[in-house]
Amino acid sequence: MEGCVEGVTGWAMGPASPGTAAQDECVRDAAALYDKLEQLIVPLFYGNRPRFGTVMRHAIALNGSFFTTQRMMQQYMVKAYVL
């Protein structure tokens, strides 16, 4: 997943492989979200606030410097107009 380093810049939600039906996919995504919140995110938030803050700072530092409009436009130009 682009921009996600599990436990460093955030947490990925949902299964790695796509589902068969939209409803099943929504149910799996919701279950994965609640599981991730219950098992990792909430315990980290309440049990190790400095580590949670570190993850948030990494998310801003790494993703904020990469996901910019300039990069997006450069990538668009290359993919759309350069053969």
**Predicted local distance difference test score (pLDDT) of residue 16:** 54
Taking only the tens of pLDDT, the chain with its 83 residues reads 566 777 777 777 665 555 556 667 778 888 888 999 999 999 999 999 999 999 999 888 888 877 888 888 888 888 888 76
Amino acid letter, residue 56: M
Is the distance from CB of 55 to CB of 44 less than 8 angstroms? yes
Cα(78)–Cα(71) distance, integer angstroms = 11
Cα(83)–Cα(71) distance, integer angstroms = 18
Look up the pTM and report it: 0.57
- Write out the DSSP string of 45-63: HHH-HHHHHHHHHHIIIII
